Amino acid sequence: MCVKNSMVAGKSLILAISLLLLNQCASHTVAVDSQSTYKSVETVYSANMSSANYLANFFKYKFYMLDDEDKERQKTAIYYALNNLDHDVVTSWYNNKTEAQGHVKIVSSYPQGAGYCRVIFSQLIHKGRQRSFSETACVDMSHLGWRFIK
């Protein structure tokens, strides 16, 4: 009886450790879209979170957001790069109306599961501010399209 209980406890421990390790392998956060299409170009905010500073940070964030047309241009450039470009080739866009611009480059690719991942560097310039992003997008047979991981 003691041996049987020890075997059950041992198997339970192995199962618990295996589940914990598998969970760590799958712990990437998946995003629907590229960060560069929805984040503000502004990166400097007040750390003091008083009501006035919170409000000022909010307006600064919104002021330096890309408008919908520029977001669509950035998104198009990213998906074009993911689907068509070789490493270190840059695709760019520019909007004459807003003077916003973006540059996207694939810097590496690697196999992942039933598909592969690509590391993207992108840069946005908008209203005198510049911001760079580094992201990873993966595609595999079980999902349609690219998924961005953090």
Sheet strands side by side (includes 147-149): 30-31, 147-149, 129-139, 115-126, 101-112, 90-94
DSSP 45-114: --S---HHHHHHHHHHHHHTSPPHHHHHHHHHHHHHHHHHPPTT-EEEEE-TTT--EEEEEEEEEEEETT
Whether 15 is in a domain gets the answer: no
pLDDT at 29: 58
Give residue-wise pLDDT tens across range 82-128: 999 999 999 999 999 999 999 999 999 999 988 999 999 999 999 99
Is residue 106 situated within a structural domain?
yes
In 3-state terms, what secondary structure has residue 143?
Answer: coil
Of the given ranges (33-42, 56-65, 136-145), which has the lowest mean pLDDT? 33-42
**How does residue 141 score in pLDDT terms, banded at 50, 70 and 90?**
confident
**pLDDT, mean of residues 19-32:** 48
Q: How many domains does the chain have?
A: 1
- In a domain, residue 12? The reply is no
Residue 73: Cβ-neighbour burial (10 angstroms; 0-12, 13-18, 19+) = buried
The residue type of 140 is: D
What's the rounded Cα separation, in Å, for the pair 112 and 4?
Answer: 40
In the prediction, which pLDDT does 99 show? 95
Residue 2 phi/psi, 5-degree rounding, is -65, -40
pTM of the model: 0.72
How high does pLDDT run on average in the chain? 82
pLDDT given for residue 21 in this prediction: 39
Residue 95 domain-assigned (yes or no): yes
User: Is the Cβ–Cβ distance between 124 and 36 less than 8 Å?
Assistant: yes
Task: Classify residue 120: in a domain, yes or no.
Answer: yes
In contact, 120 and 81? CB cutoff 8 Å: yes
Domain assignment of residue 120, given as a range:
29-149
Q: Is 98 domain-assigned?
A: yes
| Domain membership flag for residue 14 | no
Q: Would 125 be classed as within a structural domain?
A: yes
Among 5-9, 43-47, 135-139, the range with the most confident prediction by mean pLDDT is 135-139
pLDDT-derived band of residue 34, with 50, 70 and 90 as boundaries?
confident
